[in-house]
């Protein structure tokens, strides 16, 4: 039953900047791609309508550039992943090869969904985020590291202080980012709490 | 004496199973709602690990996201849609989960079905793989959207890992002006606090305006909490709440009902409790509101001009305004009043309840949809549809030239055949105006209240409903 997950201490690799604030999950993965019973084929659909026109011709987009090939870190703006709760959004980013995201801030549901997949989602102060984006624009080959342990983002010889809520950080470092095993361990306590909470007993009427 | 607590804190504390390493909470989910789009993968994950559903009686299902609204003939034309719906039926059947399927007459958008059935109850924690689960907060519940792995977690354990939220009390005091609706109130709140203003917060809606609102209006407001970044939003339960719930199928009966009401009443925020933030808004400052951009915070009063990027406060705001204007094909300083529309969409979990239809029908009666405008009315649930038909409201819409549809999410997210085409502009009673949201990458959405959608439908352009409907209709059907 128990599932052993590898600890995630640092993620290194090429980074691609997807500029803009409030990048919503409809943009990350348009709703028509939610028609699936598994997440397996979502990678190629990432930012589909931003990357391709209605005739499937590529548009100008950072993910269509050569530098995006093999990238493992995405860099974006504020409120990344706002909107729908669809896990298809972080799944498509993950399946496209990304292991970490650096942003100004994250929408909450997206952040939880991405963390559960083992993606490190860290935030930088506005000035640092701008500087990182500028560095990557002028030097796309720059290697970037998200250090979950040290709470830093390294880009070349620049080091930025990063933020990551302690619960998420700890779960990545301890290989507990998928919480199911932890949650299952408290099944008895959960049942006892359900018994103790009066309102649950009032919830009858399946046939009423 | 216990220290005074907010409803959020009381409900949170009551449902906390234990604290996890790192300070997160393992939170009991009292009620779990599922639908056909975000659940099949979760059931697949359970199968992969050979896990049962721990408390199948605490999960309720319906079909809404992908189900067609123009025809209910099965198999559905869209093979994948058909497969997903069959998958949900199979999963519910296998695990003993109650499914409000099409044949029950109780199918509808999941956030309408819960309240209609009395499944949504004050003081409970409610989760669903849909961000608009915040709707259920209207009942003094803590409702929030979750991803599919979390749907799996709830199915397998009836719990979730959550970070405790801060609480922001948003008071709207005084009286709303005539022609200003719940939709305008929440659009105004989002515009004021921003689309990310609510990150890390639960919103408690309070004050004269919310005290006076009926349950359906409260649901409209709570529904869009997530558009302001707040994962949940709630109104403290009161007599209006209990009146709405009494007699519904899933609420307690008799002496148990009385006990439940007493318990629910005690869950309301205590006077003098701590709030992490308080925002006070004067109801008289709110006018009919429409969006002009590509997120719900990009909104103006109907008589205002849209922003000019040249006047933006910083580069990020300038870029955001420029991108929005470009997508919407508006010039800086554009006036929304008079903007031609192609489609009028009346539906969604934000605004497709009975009172929305009654109000919309009262202004639409005797009028016609403008030439060239495609207008569709999609009741949020089969019960709403049936009641509209009993009251003759369907006829008002059909006579006006609206298509009268079956219940579902429809063109709010365009997963079924209801989609914009090309760069059509849609006056919409839904909740999101993101790029591509309504099914066309270049499609344009203008969010507004149902009555404003009616005004746009009959005039063919975005306009002030107060002016359109101040006189009797010229065209009598």
> What pLDDT does A198 receive?
67
Number of continuous H segments (helices) and E segments (strands) in chain A: 9, 7
Residues 56-115 of B with CB under 8 A from A: 57-58, 65-66, 78, 80-81, 83-84, 87, 98
Whether B33 has a pLDDT exceeding 90, the answer reads yes
| Min Cα separation B392/chain A (Å) | 28
Distance CA B444, CA B436 (A): 8
For B277, phi then psi, to 5°, come to: -160, 150
Distance CA B156, CA B300 (A): 45
Whether B461 has a pLDDT exceeding 70, the answer reads yes
* B85 in Cβ contact with B66 (< 8 Å): yes
> What pLDDT does B170 receive?
98
Q: What is the pLDDT of residues B47-58, one digit of tens each?
A: 999 999 999 999
Residues 123-152 of B with CB under 8 A from A: 123-124, 129-131, 133, 144-150, 152
Whether B16 has a pLDDT exceeding 60, the answer reads yes
Q: Is residue A189 part of a domain?
A: no
Q: How many CB atoms lie within 10 A of CB B183?
A: 28
* B225 in Cβ contact with B126 (< 8 Å): no
> What pLDDT does B57 receive?
93
Whether A206 has a pLDDT exceeding 60, the answer reads no
> What pLDDT does B218 receive?
98
Q: Is residue A185 part of a domain?
A: no
> What pLDDT does A3 receive?
58
* B125 in Cβ contact with B133 (< 8 Å): no
| Min Cα separation A71/chain B (Å) | 25
For an interface test with A, give the residue of B35, B120, B159 to mutate (most A CBs within 10 A). B159
What does the pLDDT average to over B414-420? 94
Q: What is the pLDDT of residues B311-344, one digit of tens each?
A: 999 999 999 999 999 999 999 999 999 999 999 9
From chain A, the residues in CB contact with B246 under 8 A are none
Distance CA B87, CA A35 (A): 12
Q: Is residue A40 part of a domain?
A: yes
What does the pLDDT average to over B362-385? 98
Q: What is the CA radius of gyration of chain B?
A: 22
Distance CA A148, CA A195 (A): 40
Whether A96 has a pLDDT exceeding 90, the answer reads yes
Percent of chain B with pLDDT strictly greater than 90: 97
Distance CA B291, CA B183 (A): 11
* CATH classification at residue A81: 3.20.19.10
| A14/B contact by beta carbon, under 8 A | no
Q: Tokens 């003759």 belong to which residue?
A: B392
State the average pLDDT for chain A.
92
Whether B477 has a pLDDT exceeding 70, the answer reads no
Whether A201 has a pLDDT exceeding 50, the answer reads no
pTM of the predicted structure, to 2 decimals: 0.96
Distance CA B137, CA B204 (A): 9
Q: Is residue A184 part of a domain?
A: no
Give the residue with greater pLDDT, B359 vs A198: B359
> What pLDDT does B2 receive?
82
- For A84, which residue in chain B has the nearest alpha carbon? B131
> What pLDDT does A1 receive?
40
Q: What is the pLDDT of residues B150-186, one digit of tens each?
A: 999 999 999 999 999 999 999 999 999 999 999 999 9
At B241, the pLDDT band (50, 70, 90 cuts) reads: very high
From chain B, the residues in CB contact with A124 under 8 A are none
Q: What is the pLDDT of residues B255-282, one digit of tens each?
A: 999 999 999 999 999 999 999 999 999 9
At B476, the pLDDT band (50, 70, 90 cuts) reads: very low
| Min Cα separation B305/chain A (Å) | 22
> What pLDDT does A204 receive?
45
- For B267, which residue in chain A has the nearest alpha carbon? A199
Architecture in CATH for domain B7-277: 2-Layer Sandwich (3.30)
What does the pLDDT average to over B459-471? 96
Q: What is the CA radius of gyration of chain A?
A: 19
Tell me how many degrees the CA angle A48-B37-B145 measures, rounded to the nearest 5: 95
At B40, the pLDDT band (50, 70, 90 cuts) reads: very high
* B311 in Cβ contact with B208 (< 8 Å): no
User: Can B7-277 and B289-468 be said to share one CATH topology?
Assistant: yes
Structural tokens at position B278:
């308080």
Where do the structural domains in chain B lie, given as residue ranges? 7-277, 289-468
At A199, the pLDDT band (50, 70, 90 cuts) reads: low
Q: Is residue A1 part of a domain?
A: no
Residues 101-140 of A with CB under 8 A from B: 105-109, 112-113, 116-117
From chain B, the residues in CB contact with A206 under 8 A are 57, 98
Q: Which of A38, A112, A204 is the closest to B147 by Cβ?
A: A112
> What distances in angstroms separate CA B397 from CA B356, B367, B463, one per listed residue?
13, 9, 19
Distance CA B373, CA B461 (A): 9
Structural tokens at position A62:
């950072």
At A67, the pLDDT band (50, 70, 90 cuts) reads: confident
> What pLDDT does B146 receive?
98
* A110 in Cβ contact with A78 (< 8 Å): no
Query: Domain count of chain A?
Result: 1
Beta-carbon contacts of B317 under 8 Å, excluding residues fewer than 6 positions away, are: none
> What pLDDT does B245 receive?
97
At B67, the pLDDT band (50, 70, 90 cuts) reads: very high
Distance CA B61, CA B39 (A): 10
Q: What is the pLDDT of residues B280-313, one digit of tens each?
A: 999 999 999 999 999 999 999 999 999 999 999 9
Q: How many CB atoms lie within 10 A of CB A156?
A: 12
Q: Domain residues for A104?
A: 10-176
Q: What is the pLDDT of residues B140-149, one digit of tens each?
A: 999 999 999 9
3-state secondary structure of A108: helix
Q: How many CB atoms lie within 10 A of CB B310?
A: 10
At B21, the pLDDT band (50, 70, 90 cuts) reads: confident
For an interface test with B, give the residue of A2, A17, A27, A35 to mutate (most B CBs within 10 A). A35
Whether B225 has a pLDDT exceeding 90, the answer reads yes
Q: What is the pLDDT of residues B72-119, one digit of tens each?
A: 999 999 999 999 999 999 999 999 999 999 999 999 999 999 999 999
Q: Which of B133, B196, B320 is the closest to A82 by Cβ?
A: B196
Q: Fold for domain B289-468? A: Aconitase; domain 3 (3.30.499)
């Amino acid at each position: 039953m128990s599932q052993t997950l590898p600890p995630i201490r640092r993620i290194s690799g090429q980074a691609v900047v997807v500029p803009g604030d409030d990048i919503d999950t409809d943009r990350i993965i348009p709703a028509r791609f939610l028609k699936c019973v598994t997440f397996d084929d979502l990678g190629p659909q990432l930012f589909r309508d931003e990357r391709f026109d209605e005739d499937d011709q590529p548009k100008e987009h950072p993910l269509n550039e050569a530098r995006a090939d093999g990238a493992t870190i995405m860099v974006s703006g504020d409120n990344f992943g706002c909107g729908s709760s669809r896990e298809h959004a972080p799944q498509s980013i993950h399946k496209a090869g990304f292991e970490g995201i650096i942003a100004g801030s994250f929408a909450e549901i997206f952040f939880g969904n991405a963390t559960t997949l083992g993606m490190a989602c860290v935030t930088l102060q506005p000035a640092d985020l701008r500087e990182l984006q500028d560095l990557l624009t002028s030097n796309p080959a720059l290697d970037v590291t998200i250090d979950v342990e040290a709470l830093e983002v390294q880009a070349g010889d620049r080091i930025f202080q990063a933020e990551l809520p302690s619960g998420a950080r700890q779960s990545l470092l301890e290989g507990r980012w998928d919480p199911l095993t932890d949650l299952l361990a408290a099944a008895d306590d959960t049942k006892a709490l359900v018994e103790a909470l009066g309102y649950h007993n009032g919830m009858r009427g399946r046939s009423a | 004496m216990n220290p005074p607590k907010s409803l959020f804190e009381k409900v949170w504390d009551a449902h906390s199973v234990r604290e996890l390493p790192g300070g997160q909470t393992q939170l009991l989910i009292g009620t779990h709602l599922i639908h056909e789009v975000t659940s099949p993968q979760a059931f697949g994950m359970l199968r992969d690990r050979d896990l049962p559903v721990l408390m199948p009686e605490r999960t309720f299902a319906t079909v809404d996201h992908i189900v067609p609204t123009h025809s209910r003939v099965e198999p559905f034309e869209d093979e994948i849609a058909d497969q997903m719906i069959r998958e949900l039926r199979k999963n519910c059947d296998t695990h003993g989960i109650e499914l409000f399927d099409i044949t029950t007459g109780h199918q509808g958008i999941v956030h309408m079905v819960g309240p209609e059935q009395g499944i949504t109850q004050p003081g409970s924690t409610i989760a669903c793989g849909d961000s608009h689960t915040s709707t259920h907060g209207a009942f003094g519940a803590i409702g929030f959207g979750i991803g599919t792995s979390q749907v799996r977690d709830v199915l397998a354990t009836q719990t979730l890992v959550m970070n405790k939220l801060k609480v922001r009390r948003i008071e709207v005091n005084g009286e709303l002006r005539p022609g200003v609706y719940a939709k305008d109130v929440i659009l105004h709140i989002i515009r004021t606090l921003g689309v990310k203003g609510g990150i890390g917060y639960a919103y408690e809606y309070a004050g004269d305006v919310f005290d006076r609102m009926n349950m359906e209006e409260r649901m409209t407001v709570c529904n869009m909490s997530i558009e302001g970044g707040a994962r949940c939003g709630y109104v403290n339960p009161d007599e209006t709440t209990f009146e709405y719930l009494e007699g519904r199928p899933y609420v307690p009966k008799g002496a148990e009902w009385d006990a439940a009401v007493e318990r629910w009443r005690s869950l309301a925020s205590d006077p003098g409790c701590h709030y992490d933030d308080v925002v006070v808004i004067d109801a008289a400052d709110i006018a009919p509101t429409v969006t002009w951009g590509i997120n719900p915070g990009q909104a103006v009063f109907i008589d205002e001009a849209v922003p000019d990027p040249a006047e933006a406060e910083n580069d990020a705001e300038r870029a955001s305004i420029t991108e929005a204007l470009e997508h919407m094909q508006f010039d800086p300083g554009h006036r929304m009043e008079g903007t031609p529309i192609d489609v009028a969409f009346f539906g969604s979990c934000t605004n497709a309840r009975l009172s929305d239809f009654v109000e919309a029908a009262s202004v639409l009666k005797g009028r016609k949809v403008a030439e060239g405008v495609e207008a569709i009315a999609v009741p949020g649930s089969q019960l709403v549809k049936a009641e509209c038909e009993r009251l003759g409201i369907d006829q008002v819409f059909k006579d006006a030239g609206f298509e009268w549809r079956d219940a579902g999410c429809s063109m709010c997210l365009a997963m079924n055949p209801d989609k914009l085409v090309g760069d059509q502009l849609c006056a919409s009673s839904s909740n999101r105006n993101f790029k591509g949201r309504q099914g066309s990458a270049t499609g344009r959405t203008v969010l507004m209240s149902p009555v404003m959608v009616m005004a746009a439908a009959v005039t063919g352009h975005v306009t002030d409903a107060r002016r359109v409907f101040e006189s009797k209709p010229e065209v009598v059907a």
